[in-house]
Amino acid sequence: MNKIVDKEYFSDNVVKLVIEAPEIAKSRKAGHFIILRVGTKGERIPLTIVGSDTENGTITIIVQKMGVSSIKLVNLEVGDYITDVVGPLGNATHIEKAGTVLASGGGVGVAPLLPIVEAFKNAGNKVITVLAARSKELIILEEQIRDFSDEVIIMTDDGSYGKKGLVTLGLEEVINREKIDLAVTVGPAIMMKFVGLLTKKYNIPTLASLNTIMVDGTGMCGACRVTVGGRTRFVCVDGPEFDAHQVDFDEMLSRLNAYKKQEEKAYENYLSKYRKV
Amino acid sequence: MDRILEYLKKEREQEWRVEIRSKIKTKDRTSMERLDMPEEDPDVRNKSYVEVNKGLLVEQAIYEAQRCIDCVKPTCVEGCPVGINIPKFIKKIETGEFLESAKILKETNALPAVCGRVCPQEVQCEMTCFYTQKLGKPPVAIGNLERFVADYERNSGQISIPEISSRNGIKVAAIGSGPSGLSFAGDMIKMGYDVTVFEALHEIGGVLKYGIPEFRLPNDIVDVEIEILHKMGVRFVTNFIVGKTATIDDLKKEGYTAFFIGSGAGLPNFMNIPGENYVGIYSSNEYLTRVNLMKAADPEYDTPVISGNNVAVIGGGNTAMDSVRTAKRLGAERAMIIYRRSIEEMPARDEEIKHAQEEGIEFLNLNSPIEYFADENGRVNKMKVQKMKLGEPDDSGRRRPVPIKGSEYFIDVDTVIVSVGVSPNPLIPKSIKELDVSSWGTIKVNKDSLQSSVSDIFAGGDIVRGGATVILAMGDGRMAAAAMNKYIKEKVRNIISLVKEFKTIGDILDFATK
Ligand SMILES: Cc1cc2nc3c(=O)[nH]c(=O)nc-3n(C[C@H](O)[C@H](O)[C@H](O)COP(=O)(O)OP(=O)(O)OC[C@H]3O[C@@H](n4cnc5c(N)ncnc54)[C@H](O)[C@@H]3O)c2cc1C
Ligand SMILES: Cc1cc2nc3c(=O)[nH]c(=O)nc-3n(C[C@H](O)[C@H](O)[C@H](O)COP(=O)(O)OP(=O)(O)OC[C@H]3O[C@@H](n4cnc5c(N)ncnc54)[C@H](O)[C@@H]3O)c2cc1C
Ligand code: SF4
Ligand code: FES
């Protein structure tokens, strides 16, 4: 049982939660995630640790409402308890001084991107970040990302904020402009796929942080498996970051949709039961 | 062994034993037929999670206990990995002292209600029983009797909570809450230690909870055992991954003196054949965890599971049987076992194979998958299978399956469960650099003390043996507890003798700062 000590809405659908978890706060590094469960009938869902405070023994997560589990989480208030929180899971990001790092985040992928950008900046890199979303309201954490980036480029599909166009357009402009030593991308699988295709064209090593479906997060089940360079890897213990040029994103996309029907049904049931979102 | 035999012999000469033996002539005992375990109707049970075996009634248990002739040299005990005093507990059933009988079981077996249900008695005590060995008759139903006694005690509401020596304040930890960790914890708390069990998942019990299904081992039964440990003072910490949440070194700083690693063999193996990552293809670990731990089949719970109409389970062990029988219960029209050897070579328990057959599971023996196919959404819809024949025996003595060229054919499937073994979880070994690990990933230990290459770390169960059994894991937990107790006592003695050498307070302070 872990207590929620702070809650902040970034938009209707994106919420920051600060949770008591002293041990995790102490041992986590950039790139780590947790798995949590809301209620004894809840599902185990993975979420990135965006930040931590070792003095107060808290960790910060940012959640986007996707389906039943994330909605249940977002509906919790300060003072409520989360049934189970376990972590830190996964491997920490391998942070090095590469030179110029080009980061890209899409949608709620910006949350997991934040600690990575922070760490690369602190390691002495020049960091350029491209944030992308469908429209202005969906751009989150801009300020925090700016704190650790030398330059931030905003892209929206509808042009309601920043430049109009997809994330790849913003990236390509930077690539044509200056030498990039490393790219990092976190976002929807489809976005990471196209970022990978782009950077491959320019021979830029690229890390993608994968958000597969998970159950235990300790390597026990294989729910999170992806094909990387022709080999099956488990995202929870071998990742979550992999060489974007080696990941089979099409397979990952179909695996992410494995439970689409059940999720939609669960969502409808949930709505009819609680009439509250 | 001789000492144990001596002991068993002496026990056998106790008055009550002699008296009960003389009540029925040996010849009459051996002419009694073995009682079958009463079972739920296959057509009822394959649609629900009720326990398949219903347990013996009091009269049935007494009858079966009478079959045991109380041998001078009880060979059954040799077949039991933890050396339960089998004839003694059975004779206490014959006299009707069931609670006494339970005490005898618990002297050596921390989890009799569990072992009575899941132990492969047919290759252990029942195989070495006099009836099997010398009479060529069905053995005394030792497993059914063990289960009867444990259930009787639990239902009586008079479960004996073992006595605990006075607390010694020394902190020790078990890592993993499977049968090895639980039995270790039980013994250490009895010896007065301050015991904490760390578990990565949100539930205590290891494979007993997430792996073995309700219809074979109800969770309630495991919970009762855990509750007893809890009452004895064992502290359980869930959602704590040693090596991640905190390292062993961190725990040492918190005052833990020694550790028992019982982290199991949790990593699922796949076959690495084309198409194995299509949607609808699970490891048995994932499938069983979703259903058993996360209750995915219950609409009240949030975790989903794909439970198709045509389910193929690859493998022939207990895990494969549990998966295929679960799939049937989730509504599969066709639930198939696909195994590359013949039914005789299957590692699953005889009872599981029999139950599966009764429940309408199809057995496609001497078949092996070679490729999976999917629809446009990446969902598995077909598999290519090759027929096999048995060739020369391999290292394990089992005849090696050899593919038959040109025998490939297709089977329509919408769910596949890959159940081809597990490997040790590398999480802990990876987090302790000095720990000696075999090329299989198992932790290397001294086989008499279960002490690892790091002197204050002991290990047992599947992390040492690879996939083994509940009773072996439990036995390891007990052996490690005894060895760790000895190790700590010796350490304490050394410190005391050192302290005695001190002449001034300065010496003591000097030592303390070191
Ligand atoms: C390592 C890792 C880190 C993550 N970090 C964050 C984070 O910091 N913040 C955050 O909001 N989310 C994060 N996610 C994704 C998050 O776990 C999912 O959004 C969540 O599990 C959805 O559950 P749900 O029940 O609310 O939605 P569901 O009803 O399960 O799904 C609704 C929709 O979301 C899609 N979906 C389901 N699971 C995932 C998934 N794992 N990733 C992406 N889409 C999914 C489904 O296809 C469906 O369209 C992370 C995932 C991983 C693996
Ligand atoms: C489906 C199935 C059916 C089986 N049927 C039978 C049967 O009928 N009869 C039989 O005798 N045997 C059976 N077995 C085998 C038997 O269950 C195992 O041999 C036994 O459970 C091993 O016990 P263990 O204590 O070594 O570990 P486990 O039971 O595997 O428990 C290990 C525990 O450690 C936890 N853990 C791992 N790493 C960490 C960490 N770093 N920190 C904290 N916790 C950690 C895990 O989450 C797990 O809960 C079956 C196994 C399976 C999977
Ligand atoms: S070997 Fe069989 S008959 Fe003999 S004591 Fe053991 S259980 Fe009884
Ligand atoms: S989530 Fe189970 S193995 Fe990765």
Q: How far apart are CA B4 and CA B77, in angstroms?
A: 10
Q: Which chain A residues are within 8 Å of B302, Cβ to Cβ? A: 41-43, 68-69, 72, 266
> Torsions phi, psi of B133, nearest 5?
-70, -50
Q: Which of A129, A134, A99, A133 is nearest to A116 (CA)?
A: A129
Q: Which residues of A61-96 are buried (b: 16+ CB within 10 A; e: fewer)?
A: bbbbbebbbbbbbbebeeeeebebbbbbbbeebebe
Judged on CB neighbours under 10 Å (0-12, 13-18, 19+), B346 is buried
* Residue A109: DSSP 8-state: G
For the CA atoms of A240, A246, A248, A252, the dihedral, rounded to the nearest 10 degrees, stands at 10
Q: How far apart are CA A141 and CA A107, in angstroms?
A: 10
Q: How far apart are CA A167 and CA A130, in angstroms?
A: 7
Q: How far apart are CA B109 and CA B5, in angstroms?
A: 19
Give DSSP secondary structure letters for B255-283: TEEEEEE-----EEP----TTTTSBTEEE
Residues paired with A247 in a beta bridge: A228
Q: How far apart are CA B26 and CA B32, in angstroms?
A: 10
Helices (H), B42-163: 42-45, 58-67, 75-79, 86-94, 98-108, 112-118, 125-128, 130, 142-156
Q: How far apart are CA B161 and CA B173, in angstroms?
A: 21
Q: How far apart are CA B8 and CA B73, in angstroms?
A: 8
Residues paired with B171 in a beta bridge: B194, B256
Residue B190 in tokens: 């009895």
Give DSSP secondary structure letters for A38-58: SSTTPPPEEEE--EEETTTTE
Q: Which chain B residues are within 8 Å of A258, Cβ to Cβ? A: 279-280, 306
Side-chain-side CA neighbours of A124 within 13 Å: the count stands at 4
For the CA atoms of B30, B31, B32, B36, the dihedral, rounded to the nearest 10 degrees, stands at 90
For helices B318-329 and B350-358, angle between their N-to-C axes, nearest 10 degrees: 20
Q: How high is the pLDDT of residue A67?
A: 87
Say which of B300, B379, B427 has its CB closest to residue A219: B427
Q: How far apart are CA B105 and CA B108, in angstroms?
A: 6
Say which of A37, A254, A263 has its CB closest to residue B202: A37
Q: How far apart are CA B52 and CA B355, in angstroms?
A: 8
Q: How far apart are CA B28 and CA B214, in angstroms?
A: 39
The neighbour count for residue B442, using CB atoms within 10 Å, is 18
Structure-token match 């294989």, residue found: A222
Contact B171, B256 (CB under 8 A): yes
Q: Which chain A residues are within 8 Å of B374, Cβ to Cβ? A: 254
The neighbour count for residue A176, using CB atoms within 10 Å, is 8
- Strands A100-106 and A126-133 turn out to be parallel
The neighbour count for residue B126, using CB atoms within 10 Å, is 24
Q: Which of A6, A179, A186, A174 is nearest to A107 (CA)?
A: A186
List Cβ neighbours of B243 (8 Å cut-off, separation of 6 or more).
B427, B428, B430, B431, B432
Q: Which chain A residues are within 8 Å of B202, Cβ to Cβ? A: 37, 44, 83-84, 86
Q: How high is the pLDDT of residue A66?
A: 85
CA of B206 to the centre of ligand 2 (A): 5
Q: How far apart are CA B45 and CA B47, in angstroms?
A: 5
Residue B131 in tokens: 């009836």
Across the A/B interface, how many CB contacts are shorter than 8 Å? 119
Residues paired with B390 in a beta bridge: B401
List Cβ neighbours of A197 (8 Å cut-off, separation of 6 or more).
none
Helix (H, G, I), strand (E, B) or coil at B242: strand
The neighbour count for residue A260, using CB atoms within 10 Å, is 13
CA of A45 to the centre of ligand 1 (A): 7
Contact A185, A170 (CB under 8 A): no
Structure-token match 């997430």, residue found: B210
Q: Which chain A residues are within 8 Å of B426, Cβ to Cβ? A: 219, 237
CB contact under 8 A, B268 and A220: yes
Q: How high is the pLDDT of residue B161?
A: 78
Helix (H, G, I), strand (E, B) or coil at B24: coil
Q: What is the pLDDT of residues A78-91, one digit of tens each?
A: 999 999 999 999 99
Helix (H, G, I), strand (E, B) or coil at B209: helix
Instruction: Round the average pLDDT of chain A to a whole number and report it.
Output: 92
Say which of A222, A259, A269 has its CB closest to residue B283: A222
Q: How far apart are CA A180 and CA A197, in angstroms?
A: 15
Q: Which of B400, B395, B394 is nearest to B368 (CA)?
A: B400
Q: Which of B270, B277, B284, B276 is nearest to B384 (CA)?
A: B276
Q: How far apart are CA A92 and CA B418, in angstroms?
A: 30
Q: How high is the pLDDT of residue B479?
A: 93
The neighbour count for residue B20, using CB atoms within 10 Å, is 16
- % of chain A exceeding 90 in pLDDT: 76
CB contact under 8 A, B425 and A225: no
Ligand 2 in reach of B263 Cβ (< 6 A): yes
pTM for the whole thing? Answer: 0.92
List Cβ neighbours of B59 (8 Å cut-off, separation of 6 or more).
none
User: What is the chain A residue with the closest CA to B239?
Assistant: A86
- Strands A163-164 and A151-156 turn out to be parallel
Q: Which of B110, B111, B139, B138 is nearest to B125 (CA)?
A: B139
Q: How high is the pLDDT of residue A277?
A: 44
CB contact under 8 A, B302 and A68: yes
Q: Is A221 on the interface with B (CB under 8 A)?
A: yes
Per-residue pLDDT of chain B (514 residues; tens, 9 = 90+): 677 888 888 889 899 999 999 999 999 999 999 988 889 889 889 888 889 998 999 999 999 999 999 999 999 999 998 889 999 999 999 999 999 999 999 888 888 999 999 999 999 999 999 999 999 999 999 999 999 999 999 999 888 777 777 899 999 999 999 999 999 999 999 999 999 999 999 999 999 999 999 999 999 999 998 998 999 999 999 999 999 999 999 999 999 999 999 999 989 999 999 999 999 999 999 999 999 999 998 888 999 998 889 999 999 999 999 999 999 999 999 999 999 999 988 999 888 999 999 999 999 999 999 999 999 999 999 999 999 999 888 887 888 899 999 999 999 999 999 999 999 988 888 889 899 999 888 999 999 999 999 999 999 999 999 989 999 999 999 999 999 999 999 988 888 888 777 778 787 777 777 6
pLDDT at A248 over 90: yes
CA of B13 to the centre of ligand 4 (A): 56
Query: In the predicted model, what is the mean pLDDT of residues A19-29?
Result: 95
Contact B255, B194 (CB under 8 A): no
Ligand 3 in reach of B68 Cβ (< 6 A): yes
The neighbour count for residue B310, using CB atoms within 10 Å, is 20
Q: Which of B80, B143, B141 is nearest to B115 (CA)?
A: B143
Rg of chain B over CA atoms, in angstroms? Answer: 25
Q: How far apart are CA B67 and CA B295, in angstroms?
A: 41
Q: How far apart are CA A87 and CA A35, in angstroms?
A: 7
Q: How far apart are CA B352 and CA B339, in angstroms?
A: 15
Q: How far apart are CA A127 and CA A121, in angstroms?
A: 6
Residues paired with A208 in a beta bridge: A185, A242
User: What is the chain A residue with the closest CA to B201?
Assistant: A216
Contact A94, A87 (CB under 8 A): no
Residue B242 in tokens: 């040693």
CA of A225 to the centre of ligand 4 (A): 7
Q: Which of B96, B120, B115 is nearest to B105 (CA)?
A: B115
Residue B44 in tokens: 């009822």
CA of B80 to the centre of ligand 3 (A): 12
Which amino acid, residue B387? K
Q: Which of B446, B441, B429 is nearest to B467 (CA)?
A: B441
Q: How far apart are CA B198 and CA B173, in angstroms?
A: 7
Residue B308 in tokens: 């198709």
| Ligand 1: residue whose CA is nearest its atom 42 | A211
Q: How high is the pLDDT of residue A274?
A: 64
Q: Write down the number of H helices and E strands in chain A.
A: 9, 17
